Amino acid sequence: MTAIKKILITGGAGFIGYHLSSLLSAQEGYQIDLLDNFQRGMMDSELKHLLANGKVRLIERNLLSKGWQKVIDRDYQYIYHLAAIIGVIHVQKRPLEVLQNNTLMLIGIIDLCREQKDLKRLIFASTSEVYAGTLKHFNMEIPTPETTPLALTGLDLPRTSYMLSKIYGEALCHHSGLPFTIVRPHNLYGPRMGLSHVIPELLQRAHATPLPGVLDVFSADHKRTFCYIRDAVRMMRAVGEMQECIGQTFNIGNQSPEYTIKDVAKIVLRTVGKDLKIKPGESAAGSPVRRAPDMSKTFRMTGYVPEVDLEKGIALTYSWYSEKIFDGKQESAR
């Protein structure tokens, strides 16, 4: 009989958490608990369907509430800590909360991990933002490897709060004494990610703009690589379960090709079937001009290379959003 792998995913109702649990629950030998307080995640039809399969359970708790650990089991082999206050809007408006609460949530998770009977791994979701200070102050290598020394942007800048909470989180993992793996996601996209991200936001505006019309594209000349969520969670699962990945840090994303945001907008318009005029707008404050991860370490360790290119990924994303959100009655996360 195959031993059951029992997994806890914090922020489990969110974008990455949902897709990760969907992947794992489709495999034999997994039992998944999703912990979420629904400040960002949505109880939509997809999540309800996932919870109905008998292998996924929902625990509705706030990681900042007193005594939340008392209702959590002590027999998890893998704990994915994905919960965090994210999003440029929240970071700009609530920097103290971001810095304080992201740190407190991870400290609580580390305490929980120490009480587990047979913990194999804590997987901590950091961010590509940890490279922002190095990019600003130094001649940073792009694509950027995980070994790049990390520098900070100005401590008085609200956006620094999120990056700093994740750098501090990485340090907590290193000094926790736990078996851990750190992942740094880069520009993941796909269904259920919320509308305050570049690809679904462009899709929404392109879908809603009548002909003839204009599509405003901000940071149009900035370059990114993109990774479809299905590919991303497969890499996360691989590094999260491989013994050789304990104590290591991995970029999660695509190394190439790089696209300008204007290029992305062109693909969006082809996908939506709208001949709108693209109007370049201002660049977002604090947004790096170029960002691409060096994926050689992740690809080498996992043997996995992303399969979904940007054209196909945007088409899959638009299909979901147009059916469920744009032309449907389902609410979207922000």
pLDDT at 194 over 90: no
pTM over cut 0.85: yes
Which class would CATH give 5-189+227-253+291-307? alpha beta
Domain ranges of the chain: 5-189+227-253+291-307
**How many residues appear in the chain?**
334
Q: What is the pLDDT of residues 36-78, one digit of tens each?
A: 999 888 899 999 999 999 999 999 999 999 999 999 999 999 9
Average pLDDT of the segment spanning 25-44: 93
Paired tokens of 191: 């269904």
Is a pLDDT exceeding 90 seen at residue 179? Answer: yes
Residue 51: C-alpha distances to residues 31, 38, 54, 156, 237 (Å): 11, 15, 7, 43, 20
Name the residue type at position 283. Answer: S
Region 24-28 average pLDDT: 95
The mean pLDDT value of the chain amounts to 95
CA distance 225 to 113: 34
Contact (Cβ atoms closer than 8 angstroms) between residue 17 and residue 34: yes
Q: What is the DSSP string of 74-95?
A: S--SEEEE-----SHHHHHH-H
Tell me how far CA of residue 306 lies from CA of 19, 24, 181, 313, in angstroms. Answer: 15, 18, 20, 11
Where residue 2 falls among pLDDT bands split at 50, 70, 90?
low
Reported as a pLDDT band with limits 50, 70 and 90, residue 107 is very high
Half-sphere exposure of 312 (CA within 13 A, CB side): 9
User: How far is the C-alpha of 296 from the C-alpha of 292, rounded, in Å?
Assistant: 12
How many angstroms separate the CA atoms of 160 and 155, rounded? 6
Overall average pLDDT of the 316-323 stretch: 97
**Residue range 244-291, pLDDT digits in tens:** 999 999 999 999 999 999 999 999 999 999 999 999 999 887 788 999
Q: Mean pLDDT check: name the lowest of 20-29, 72-81, 84-93.
A: 84-93
Q: What are the two backbone dihedrals, phi and then psi, of residue 285, each rounded to the nearest 5 degrees?
A: -60, 130
What is the per-residue pLDDT for 334? Answer: 60
